[in-house]
Structure 1
Amino acid sequence: MEATLEKPKSEGRSPQTKNRTIRRVAVLGSGIMGSRIAAHFANIGVDVLLLDIVPKEPNELEQAKGLTTASPLVRNRIVTDAFQSMLKASPASLYSPKFADRIKLGNFDDNLKEIASFDWVIEVVVERLDIKRSVYERVEQFRKPGTLITSNTSGIPMHLLTEGRSEDFRRNFCGTHFFNPPRYLRLLEIIPGPDTDPAVVDFLMNYGDLYLGKTTVLCKDTPGFIANRLGIQSLIQTIRVAEELGLTVEEVDKLTGPVVGRPKSGTFRLSDVVGLDTTANVASNLVKMQHDESRASFELPASVQKLMENKWLGDKTGQGYYKKTKDEKGQTQILALDLKTFEYKPSEKVKFATLESTKAIDNLKKRFPVLIAGKDKAGEFYRQTFADGFRYATYRIPEISDELYRIDAAITAGFGWQLGLFETWDAIGVKKGVELIESFGQKPAQWVYDMLDVGFDAFYKVENGKRKYYDISTKSYKTIPGAEAFTILENLSNNIVWKNAGANIVDLGDGILNVEFRSKMNTFGQEVSEALQKGVALAEKDFRGLVVGNDSTEAFSAGANLAMLFMYAVEQEFDEVNLMIAQFQKLIARLRYSSVPVIVAPHTLTLGGGCEAVLHADRVVAHAESYIGLVEVGVGLIPAGGGTKEMAARASDLYQTGDPELNILQNVFMNIATAKVSTSAQEAREMNYLRATDQIVLNRSRLLAEAKQAAIELADNGYTQPKPRTDIKVQGKTGIALFRAGVTAMHMGRYISDHDRKIADKLAYVICGGDLSSPQNVSEQYLLDLEREAFLSLSGEKKTLERIQSLLTGGKPLRN
Structure 2
Amino acid sequence: MKRHINKVAVIGSGIMGSGIACHFANIGVEVLLFDIVPRELNDKEKAKGLTLEDKAVRNRLVNDSLTAALKSKPSPIYHQKFANRITTCNLDDDIARVAEVDWIIEVVVERLDIKKKVFESLDNHRKKGTLITSNTSGIPIHFMSEGRSDDFQKHFCGTHFFNPARYLKLFEIIPGPKTSNEVLDFLNGYGEQYLGKTSVIAKDTPAFIGNRIGIFSIQSLFHAVKEMGMTVEEVDKLTGPVIGRPKSATFRTVDVVGLDTLVHVANGIHENCKNDERLDLFELPDFIKTMSENKWLGSKSGQGFYKKVKGEGGKSEILTLDLDTMDYRSKKSAKFATLELTKTIDKVVDRFPILINGKDKAGEFFRKSFGALFAYVSHRIPEITDDLYKIDDAMKAGFGWEHGPFQIWDAIGKEKGLELIKAEGLTAADWVKEMKEPSFYSVKDGATYFYNIPKKGMEKVPGQDSFIILDNIRKSKEVFKNSGVVIEDLGDGILNVEFQSKMNTIGGDVLSGLNKGIDLAEKDFQGLVVGNQAANFSVGANIGMIFMMAVEQEYDELNMAIKMFQDTMMRMRYSSIPTVSAPHGMCLGGGCELSLHADKVIAAAETYIGLVEFGVGVIPGGGGSKEFALRASDSVRKGDVELNILQEYFLTIGMAKVSTSAYEAYDLGILQKGKDLVVVNKDRQIATAKAHAKLMAEAGYTKPVKRKDVKVLGKQALGMFLVGTDAMEASRYISEHDHKIANKLAYVMAGGDLSEPTLVTEQYLLDLEREAFLSLCTERKTLERIQHMLKTGKPLRN
**Structure 1: how far apart are the matches of 2:523 and 2:226?**
61
1:601 and 2:585 equivalent?
no
1:483 and 2:483 equivalent?
no
Helix, strand or coil at the partner of 1:342 = coil
Shift of 1:98: 0.9
Helix, strand or coil at the partner of 1:691 = coil
Helix, strand or coil at the partner of 2:443 = strand
Q: Deviations over 1:431-488 (max 9, x none)?
A: 100011011221100000111xx2x110000011111000001111011000121111
Specify which of 592, 601, 605 is matched with residue 624 of structure 1: 605
1:278 and 2:268 equivalent?
no
**Structure 2: how far apart are the matches of 1:698 and 1:301?**
40
Shift of 1:613: 0.5
**Structure 2: how far apart are the matches of 1:500 and 1:239?**
45
Asked if 1 retains the 8 angstrom alpha-carbon contact of 2:104 and 2:130, the reply is yes
**Structure 2: how far apart are the matches of 1:347 and 1:464?**
50
Helix, strand or coil at the partner of 2:729 = helix
Helix, strand or coil at the partner of 2:427 = coil
1:585 and 2:554 equivalent?
no
1:753 and 2:735 equivalent?
yes
Q: Which residue of 2 aligns with 1:4?
A: none
Specify which of 787, 790, 808 is matched with residue 772 of structure 2: 790
1:417 and 2:417 equivalent?
no
Q: CA RMSD in A?
A: 1.0
1:530 and 2:512 equivalent?
yes
1:309 and 2:304 equivalent?
no
Specify which of 318, 332, 354 is matched with residue 370 of structure 1: 354
Q: Deviations over 1:761-798 (max 9, x none)?
A: 11111112111222232111111111011111111111
Specify which of 230, 236, 251 is matched with residue 253 of structure 1: 236
Helix, strand or coil at the partner of 1:467 = strand
Helix, strand or coil at the partner of 2:489 = strand
Asked if 2 retains the 8 angstrom alpha-carbon contact of 1:122 and 1:152, the reply is yes
**Structure 2: how far apart are the matches of 1:50 and 1:157?**
24
Q: Which residue of 2 aligns with 1:82?
A: 65
Specify which of 299, 305, 311 is matched with residue 283 of structure 2: 299
**Structure 1: how far apart are the matches of 2:493 and 2:526?**
5
Asked if 2 retains the 8 angstrom alpha-carbon contact of 1:503 and 1:517, the reply is yes
**Structure 2: how far apart are the matches of 1:573 and 1:702?**
43
Q: Deviations over 1:635-661 (max 9, x none)?
A: 110011111111111122211000122
Q: Which residue of 2 aligns with 1:685?
A: 666
1:715 and 2:687 equivalent?
no
Specify which of 300, 308, 319 is matched with residue 335 of structure 1: 319
Q: Deviations over 1:228-276 (max 9, x none)?
A: 0000000110111011111110110110000000000010000001100
Asked if 2 retains the 8 angstrom alpha-carbon contact of 1:215 and 1:409, the reply is yes
Shift of 1:86: 0.6
Query: Which amino acid is the alignment partner of residue 775 of structure 2?
Result: S
**Structure 2: how far apart are the matches of 1:266 and 1:567?**
35
Alignment of 1:353-432 (within 5 A): 353-432=337-416
Q: Which residue of 1 aligns with 2:789?
A: 807
Query: Which amino acid is the alignment partner of residue 97 of structure 1?
Result: Q
Q: Which residue of 2 aligns with 1:773?
A: 755
Q: Which residue of 2 aligns with 1:731?
A: 713
Q: Which residue of 2 aligns with 1:202?
A: 185
Asked if 1 retains the 8 angstrom alpha-carbon contact of 2:508 and 2:561, the reply is no
Helix, strand or coil at the partner of 2:172 = strand
Helix, strand or coil at the partner of 1:284 = helix
**Structure 2: how far apart are the matches of 1:69 and 1:195?**
41
Helix, strand or coil at the partner of 2:146 = coil
Helix, strand or coil at the partner of 1:360 = coil
Asked if 1 retains the 8 angstrom alpha-carbon contact of 2:511 and 2:564, the reply is no
Greater shift after overlay, 742-751 or 241-250? 742-751
Shift of 1:630: 0.5
Query: Which amino acid is the alignment partner of residue 742 of structure 1?
Result: G
Q: Gaps (5+ residues) in structure 1?
A: 1-15
Q: Which residue of 1 aligns with 2:104?
A: 121
Specify which of 75, 78, 87 is matched with residue 104 of structure 1: 87
TM-score normalised by L of structure 2: 0.99
Q: Deviations over 1:33-66 (max 9, x none)?
A: 0001100111111111111111110012221222
Query: Which amino acid is the alignment partner of residue 225 of structure 1?
Result: F
Query: Which amino acid is the alignment partner of residue 703 of structure 1?
Result: Q
Helix, strand or coil at the partner of 1:646 = helix
Helix, strand or coil at the partner of 2:333 = coil
Helix, strand or coil at the partner of 1:50 = strand
Helix, strand or coil at the partner of 2:245 = coil
Alignment of 1:127-526 (within 5 A): 127-288=110-271, 289-451=273-435, 454=436, 456-492=437-473, 493-526=475-508
Q: Which residue of 1 aligns with 2:538?
A: 557
**Structure 2: how far apart are the matches of 1:80 and 1:426?**
49
Q: Deviations over 1:71-130 (max 9, x none)?
A: 222211111111111111000111111111111112111111111111111111011111
**Structure 2: how far apart are the matches of 1:286 and 1:744?**
64
Query: Which amino acid is the alignment partner of residue 544 of structure 2?
Result: A
**Structure 1: how far apart are the matches of 2:363 and 2:681?**
36
**Structure 1: how far apart are the matches of 2:93 and 2:651?**
46
1:698 and 2:701 equivalent?
no
**Structure 1: how far apart are the matches of 2:462 and 2:203?**
17
**Structure 1: how far apart are the matches of 2:666 and 2:410?**
41
Q: Gaps (5+ residues) in structure 2?
A: none
Q: Deviations over 1:715-735 (max 9, x none)?
A: 111111112111212222111
Query: Which amino acid is the alignment partner of residue 162 of structure 1?
Result: S
Query: Which amino acid is the alignment partner of residue 416 of structure 1?
Result: G
> How many correspondences in the alignment?
795
Asked if 2 retains the 8 angstrom alpha-carbon contact of 1:242 and 1:381, the reply is no
Query: Which amino acid is the alignment partner of residue 647 of structure 2?
Result: Q
**Structure 1: how far apart are the matches of 2:756 and 2:282?**
74
Helix, strand or coil at the partner of 1:359 = coil
TM-score normalised by L of structure 1: 0.96
**Structure 2: how far apart are the matches of 1:578 and 1:362?**
31
Q: Which residue of 2 aligns with 1:10?
A: none
